[in-house]
Amino acid sequence: MSTNVNIDWDKLGFAYTKTDLRYISIWENGKWDDGKLVEDNNISISEASTALHYGQQCFEGLKAYRTKDDSIQLFRPDQNAKRINRSCKRVLMPEIPVEKFVDACLQVVKANEAFVPPYGTGATLYIRPYVIGIGDNLGVGPAPKFLFGVFCCPVGAYFKGGLAPVNFMISEKYDRAAPHGTGADKIGGNYAASLLAHVEATKRGFADCVYLDPATHTKIEEVGAANFFGITKDNVFATPKSPSILPSITKYSLIHIAKEYLKMQVEERDIPIDSISEFKEAGACGTAAVITPIGGIEYNGELHVFHSETEVGPITKKLYDTLYGIQFGDVEAPEGWIVKVK
């Protein structure tokens, strides 16, 4: 097993790297087994698995951070545990006890400690938990067996050399979720529904698309696979409220930071696309990118620019620095946000 890894941390992107060990646990006959770490990064499952045909699956994403004093920590893994359980419930999969989920993440990070990037590179160890329906099953219905897996990959800093704004376009042709569908759950089907829209947006030179609410197409919902926030001209942190948005842990952390650290007013409410000029700054947030400043959004053939297409706005920068500081252990975290791996 490799304990010395040869990785150029500065060149890492968001790509798969095979690390040493991953965690697997199986649910059968009404209960989860104890789970174990395995070397093989391939899983062998029935060709009739519900995950393959009927989309019975869900996943999570979180990161391990190396701090200045060389400890390793997770950011709010209990929130990922709660969210995976909401996703599991929605697609009829068994829930995972919060302690089992967090313990699996801790085991995987410890077993792959050599892959946790050094402090100061901005790189992190991305952790991918998932649950899939497995076993023999042809008729449409929940699987007889389930697999809960956790693997990890080192990933690079999203922004090398400073926060750079990117442009997005409103998706006028495609929705990612239905009004009473699965938009609020982290399941693969939402991503399958967004792949084409994403590719078409990138072909036109945009980073991704912004989805409007599927019922009326008048309100901002998601920015690609991230949540939207805007800073109004009165310095209010505003973010959409809707049952078809994926509840981003980063977004709820930013709401807390805006209120408690930056003493800003916060509003979770409708964000009509027709009134985006109320915002002087805007951003997309999520675990992978932390915060992506939004330069502009194209809507009805026109690019609406917020703060600037080339520079991050001052409030977005403060939000980013505070969150990033908390995640890497340089800024004091609210109670319960940090779980030490070592």
Ligand X SMILES: *Cc1c(COP(=O)(O)O)cnc(C)c1O
Q: Catalytic residue numbers? A: 186
Nearby residues of 23 by Cβ (< 8 Å), 6 or more positions away: 35, 36, 37, 38, 104, 107, 108, 149, 150, 151
Residue type for position 179? P
Q: Least distance in Å: CB of 89 to ligand X? A: 17
Query: Based on CB atoms, which residue is closest to ligand X, 135 or 286?
Result: 286
Radius of gyration of the chain (CA): 20
Find the part of the chain contacting ligand X (CB under 6 A) among 64-72, 100-108, 248-256, 300-308: 248-256
The residue from 152, 225, 254, 271 that contacts ligand X (CB under 6 A) is 225
Per-residue binding letters, 305-324, with ligand X (x by CB under 6 A)? --------------------
The residue from 50, 171, 182, 248 that contacts ligand X (CB under 6 A) is 248
Beta strands 31-32 and 22-28 are antiparallel
If one asks whether residue 289 binds ligand X (CB under 6 A), the answer comes out as: no
Q: Least distance in Å: CB of 249 to ligand X? A: 3
Task: Identify whether the C-beta of residue 265 lies closer than 8 Å to the C-beta of residue 257.
Answer: no
If one asks whether residue 55 binds ligand X (CB under 6 A), the answer comes out as: no
If one asks whether residue 226 binds ligand X (CB under 6 A), the answer comes out as: yes
Q: Least distance in Å: CB of 316 to ligand X? A: 16
Task: Identify whether the C-beta of residue 237 lies closer than 8 Å to the C-beta of residue 278.
Answer: no
As given in the structure block, the two tokens for residue 270 are 């409708």
For 76-87, b/e burial (b = at least 16 CB within 10 A) is bbbbbbbbbbeb
The residue from 74, 108, 132, 249 that contacts ligand X (CB under 6 A) is 249
Alpha-carbon distance values, 199 to 144, 196, 202 (Å): 35, 5, 5
Per-residue binding letters, 123-162, with ligand X (x by CB under 6 A)? ----------------------------------------
Footprint of ligand X (CB under 6 A): 61, 186, 222, 225-227, 246, 248-251, 286-287
